[in-house]
């Protein structure tokens, strides 16, 4: 289990590093576009299409890493309205729902990625760019996120078991 | 066949349930939106709808402004700019009662001019200003509250991420929305300072007056890094210069029409990264800069993933709302009321207040704007003016329980003060905010005259 957890962490970090690269690229493309537009009065062909793909990659590649670091907003206060003994089961229910949601969403995104790759789907604009790299980053990000949620659920169950064992020993 | 209103009611109920079981807001929005889509369209073609919306929503070129403004704000926060702004402001206000609290507000307005997020603003201001106020015997909860309230200036004074989102959700000009935030932002800062000044007279113990021991505002201000040497003062003025340059590039560029919003954001991001490199290299050396650079990039990436996650999730709910024809039905329903338009506007704003207490600002903008904004403009009111009032109400949500995020940010800085006490101290600022909203409501020109002058 620890080995699996380690691999999931590596996957999230690896995708986040790719996300950092796409974020830097997005900044550079933005500056380049602005500079060239001011100097030559026109945009470089393909920059708009590149920006679209970079945006998708910047959003989805680090989404699992952001989850691992609790960067996604959640309204914890709502949970505190319930008795303390309900918190853990409710939290686990939430994790199960997340998994139940992310698995089909990831599946559909993989379907779209494979279809995009095999059909040679293109973004038609000033230049033609293949769409599959953007779709792939979406699929990879969502799948890594699903794995992160599974890992968190396993961690929560393990903590529960250890707490129960500690309780038994204290009796 | 279910009615549109029933479908939306079920969708919202599912959203609330998912939030209660602690799903991240973006997943809760996504899950409830999917339930709504199944109720509207059924399951055929669901996979195609999901993959299309998940890809299409974040790939709109106009959204490139968001990561760029996020990067700009994070790198500016992680430079020493906010501390130096506070030091200079403290020197300027040291003779006033509650001078350090006023200095925090001024620094908040200054930092708001280079950061588009309220939490970034509160986090950047907090450490130094809370330490200074506590040294001057301020009530710790009040010191934290001043920082929390000053942080909200970040979402009004441009660049503002929420204004960009409002523009995307409503179709209003993002450039005009950003410029429209300047006067209301400054007005809010002035109102805060007036409020602090009055409070310092009514309840002097809040600002450390009448207590034995501790230093005065003046003594603390004179001990800030800025006041210690001529070199530090020069550095502080240099920081002000950098704020003006960043503000000039972004806001000046947009206002003059020389730059588009995307170009201004791109230049702003790169200038903030250069300033950050200069600051860290000069004061702490290459290694510290390098570490801080990567940390800032990771921070930007996480914030970006969070904001876009909500944007994608909210688009599923927006789809359900639009397909259910709720905006049209809502407009018809509203027009059936035989009441003046201004009363409806007040009702909308009053509705936002409790909503802001339970849901984050990004989700509220993305869900409510497509419903409320068209009604307001159909009634003949200025969309830009309403956007500012809308965002002002969200500002109040940032400092009120239970999800007032700024209270939690400053709560992390004053760990010996319970969060309930910080919320209680922040309540002082709510009437000031409402009074400011009242002024902007009564005098729309305060909001509209600057964007109307834009080229």
**How many C-beta atoms surround the C-beta of residue A162 within 10 A?**
10
Q: How far apart are CA B255 and CA B248, in angstroms?
A: 9
Which residues of chain B make contact with A62, given a CB cutoff of 8 A?
301-302, 304-305
Angle at B250 between CA B248 and CA B255, to 5 degrees: 80
Smallest Cα distance from B350 to chain A, Å: 22
Secondary structure class of A129 (helix, strand, coil): strand
In tens, the pLDDT along B317-340 reads: 989 988 888 888 888 888 888 889
Q: Do A109 and B34 touch (CB under 8 A)?
A: no
Cis status, amide bond into B310, omega within 30 of 0: no
Secondary structure class of A128 (helix, strand, coil): strand
* Mutation site, B28, B38, B46, B51, interface A, largest A CB count within 10 A: B51
Domain boundaries, chain B: 4-452
**Which of A62, A65, A98 lies at the smallest CB-CB distance from B27?**
A98
**Which of B301, B312, B360 lies at the smallest CB-CB distance from A19?**
B301
B225 pLDDT exceeds 60?
Answer: no
What pLDDT is recorded for position B75? 92
> How buried is residue B411: exposed, middle or buried, by Cβ count under 10 Å (0-12/13-18/19+)?
buried
Contact by Cβ (8 Å): B5, A53:
no
SS3 per-residue string spanning A50-92: HHHHHHHHHHHCCHHHHHHCCCCCCCHHHHCCCCHHHHHHHHH
**How many C-beta atoms surround the C-beta of residue B169 within 10 A?**
20
Q: Does A51 touch chain B (CB under 8 A)?
A: yes
Closest chain A residue to B268, measured at CA: A31
**How many C-beta atoms surround the C-beta of residue A124 within 10 A?**
8
In tens, the pLDDT along B356-369 reads: 877 778 889 998 99
Q: Do B312 and A59 touch (CB under 8 A)?
A: yes
Which residues of chain B make contact with A34, given a CB cutoff of 8 A?
259-260, 262-263, 266-267
Q: How far apart are CA B32 and CA B359, in angstroms?
A: 15
In tens, the pLDDT along A71-87 reads: 887 777 677 778 888 88
Q: Do B301 and A101 touch (CB under 8 A)?
A: no
Contact by Cβ (8 Å): B211, B137:
yes
**Which of B54, B64, B308 lies at the smallest CB-CB distance from A109?**
B54
Q: How far apart are CA B375 and CA B217, in angstroms?
A: 49
What pLDDT is recorded for position B214? 59
* Among B288, B280, B298, B275, CA closest to B115: B275
B contact residues 314-373, partner A, Cβ 8 Å cutoff: 358-360, 362
Q: What is the mean pLDDT of residues B223-240?
A: 70
Q: List CB contacts of B250: < 8 A, sequence separation 6 or more.
A: B72, B114, B158, B159, B264, B265, B267, B268
Which tokens hold the place of B226? 């800025």
Smallest Cα distance from A170 to chain B, Å: 31
What pLDDT is recorded for position B334? 83
In tens, the pLDDT along B371-414 reads: 999 999 999 999 999 999 999 999 898 888 766 778 888 887 77
> How buried is residue A69: exposed, middle or buried, by Cβ count under 10 Å (0-12/13-18/19+)?
middle
**How many percent of chain B have pLDDT more than 90?**
47
Q: Do B305 and A65 touch (CB under 8 A)?
A: yes
For the CA atoms of B372, B375, B379, B381, what is the dihedral angle to 10 degrees?
Answer: 40
* Among B160, B147, B163, B189, CA closest to B72: B160
* Least confident span in A46-55, A66-75, A95-104, B337-346: A66-75
In tens, the pLDDT along B125-168 reads: 888 888 889 888 899 999 999 999 999 998 899 999 999 999 99
Question: What is the per-residue DSSP string for B219-256?
Answer: HHHHHSHHHH-HHHHHHHHHHHHHHHHHHIIIIIHHHH
Q: Do B259 and A69 touch (CB under 8 A)?
A: no
Which tokens hold the place of A18? 């790719």
Give how far the C-alpha of residue B74 lies from the chain's centroid of Cα atoms, to the nearest Å: 14
> Could you tell me where the DSSP H helices lie in B359-399?
361-378, 383-397
What pLDDT is recorded for position B51? 92
A158 pLDDT exceeds 90?
Answer: no
Looking at every residue in chain B, the average pLDDT score rounds to 88
Which residues of chain A make contact with B61, given a CB cutoff of 8 A?
48, 51-52, 55
Smallest Cα distance from B42 to chain A, Å: 16
Contact by Cβ (8 Å): B108, B154:
yes
**Which of A77, A102, A107 lies at the smallest CB-CB distance from B402?**
A77
- Residue keyed to tokens 């403009």: B377
Which residues of chain B make contact with A41, given a CB cutoff of 8 A?
none
Smallest Cα distance from A168 to chain B, Å: 28
* Among B261, B303, B296, CA closest to B275: B296
What pLDDT is recorded for position A125? 75
Q: What is the mean pLDDT of residues A98-124?
A: 93
Q: What is the mean pLDDT of residues A133-145?
A: 96
End-to-end CA distance of chain B: 51
Q: How confident is the model at residue A36 (pLDDT cuts 50, 70, 90)?
A: confident
Which residues of chain B make contact with A109, given a CB cutoff of 8 A?
50-51, 54
CA atoms within 13 A on the CB side of B420: 0
Q: Does B18 touch chain A (CB under 8 A)?
A: yes
Q: How far apart are CA B365 and CA B166, in angstroms?
A: 6
Q: Do B22 and A78 touch (CB under 8 A)?
A: yes
Which residues of chain A make contact with B24, given a CB cutoff of 8 A?
67, 72-74, 98
A12 pLDDT exceeds 60?
Answer: yes
Which tokens hold the place of B166? 């409002």
What pLDDT is recorded for position B228? 59
A contact residues 151-170, partner B, Cβ 8 Å cutoff: none
What pLDDT is recorded for position A169? 65
Give how far the C-alpha of residue A33 lies from the chain's centroid of Cα atoms, to the nearest Å: 28
In tens, the pLDDT along A56-65 reads: 999 999 999 9
CA distances from B392 to A10, B360, B376, B425 (A): 42, 14, 16, 19
Q: How confident is the model at residue B434 (pLDDT cuts 50, 70, 90)?
A: very high
Which tokens hold the place of A89? 């089961």
Which residues of chain B make contact with A60, given a CB cutoff of 8 A?
58
Contact by Cβ (8 Å): A1, A137:
no
- Angle, helices B383-397 vs B341-358, to 10°: value is 30
Q: Does A132 touch chain B (CB under 8 A)?
A: no
Check: pTM over 0.95? Answer yes or no: no
Q: What is the mean pLDDT of residues B275-302?
A: 90
Q: Does B270 touch chain A (CB under 8 A)?
A: yes
């Amino acid at each position: 289990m620890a080995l699996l957890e380690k691999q999931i962490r590596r996957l999230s970090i690896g995708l986040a590093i790719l996300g950092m690269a796409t974020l830097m690229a997005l900044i550079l493309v933005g500056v380049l576009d602005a500079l060239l537009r001011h100097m030559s009065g026109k945009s470089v062909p393909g920059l708009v299409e590149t920006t679209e793909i970079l945006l998708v990659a910047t959003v989805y590649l680090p989404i699992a890493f952001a989850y691992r670091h609790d960067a996604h907003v959640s309204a914890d206060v709502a949970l505190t309205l319930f008795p303390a003994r309900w918190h853990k089961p409710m939290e686990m229910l939430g994790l199960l729902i997340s998994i139940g949601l992310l698995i089909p969403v990831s599946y559909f995104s993989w379907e779209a990625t494979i279809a995009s790759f095999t059909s040679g789907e293109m973004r038609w604009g000033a230049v033609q760019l293949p769409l599959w790299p953007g779709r792939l980053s979406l699929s990879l990000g969502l799948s890594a996120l699903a794995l992160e949620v599974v890992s968190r659920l396993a961690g929560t169950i393990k903590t529960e078991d250890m707490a129960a064992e500690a309780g038994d020993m204290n009796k | 066949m279910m009615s549109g209103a029933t479908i939306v009611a079920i969708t919202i109920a599912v959203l609330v349930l998912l939030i209660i079981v602690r799903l991240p807001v973006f997943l809760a929005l996504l899950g409830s939106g999917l339930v709504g889509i199944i109720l509207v369209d059924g399951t055929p073609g669901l996979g195609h709808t999901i993959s299309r919306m998940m890809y299409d929503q974040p790939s709109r070129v106009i959204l490139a402004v968001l990561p760029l403004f996020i990067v700009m704000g994070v790198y500016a926060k992680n430079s020493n700019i906010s501390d130096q702004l506070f030091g200079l402001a403290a020197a300027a206000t040291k003779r006033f009662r509650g001078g350090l609290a006023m200095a925090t507000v001024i620094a908040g307005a200054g930092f708001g001019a280079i950061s588009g997020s309220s939490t970034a603003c509160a986090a950047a201001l907090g450490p130094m200003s809370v330490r200074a106020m506590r040294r001057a015997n301020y009530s710790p909860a009040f010191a934290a509250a001043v920082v929390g309230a000053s942080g909200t200036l970040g979402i009004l004074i441009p660049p503002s991420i929420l204004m960009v989102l409002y523009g995307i959700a409503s179709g209003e000009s993002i450039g005009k929305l950003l410029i429209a935030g300047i006067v209301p932002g400054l007005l809010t800062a002035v109102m805060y300072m007036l409020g602090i000044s009055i409070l310092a007279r009514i309840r002097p113990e809040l600002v450390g007056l009448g207590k034995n021991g501790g230093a005065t505002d003046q003594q603390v201000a004179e001990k800030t890094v800025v006041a210690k040497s001529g070199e530090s003062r020069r550095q502080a003025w240099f920081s002000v210069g950098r704020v003006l340059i960043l503000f000039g590039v972004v806001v000046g560029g947009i206002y003059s029409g020389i730059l588009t919003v995307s170009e201004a954001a791109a230049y702003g991001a790169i200038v903030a990264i250069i300033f950050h490199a200069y600051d860290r290299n000069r004061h702490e050396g290459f290694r510290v800069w390098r570490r801080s650079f990567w940390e800032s990039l990771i921070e930007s990436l996480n914030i970006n993933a969070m904001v876009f996650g909500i944007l994608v999730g909210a688009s599923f709910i927006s789809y359900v709302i639009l397909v259910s024809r709720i905006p049209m039905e809502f407009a018809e329903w509203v027009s059936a009321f035989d009441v003046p338009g201004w009363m409806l506007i007040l009702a909308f704003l009053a509705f936002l207040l409790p909503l802001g207490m339970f849901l984050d600002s990004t989700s509220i903008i993305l869900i409510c704007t497509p419903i409320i904004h068209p009604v307001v403009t159909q009634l003949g009111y200025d969309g830009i003016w309403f956007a500012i009032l809308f965002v002002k109400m969200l500002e109040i949500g940032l400092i009120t329980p239970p999800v007032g995020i700024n209270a939690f940010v400053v709560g992390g800085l004053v760990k010996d003060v319970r969060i309930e006490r910080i919320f209680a101290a922040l309540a002082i600022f709510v009437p000031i905010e409402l009074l400011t909203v009242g002024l902007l409501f009564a005098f729309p020109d305060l909001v509209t005259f600057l964007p109307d002058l834009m080229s």
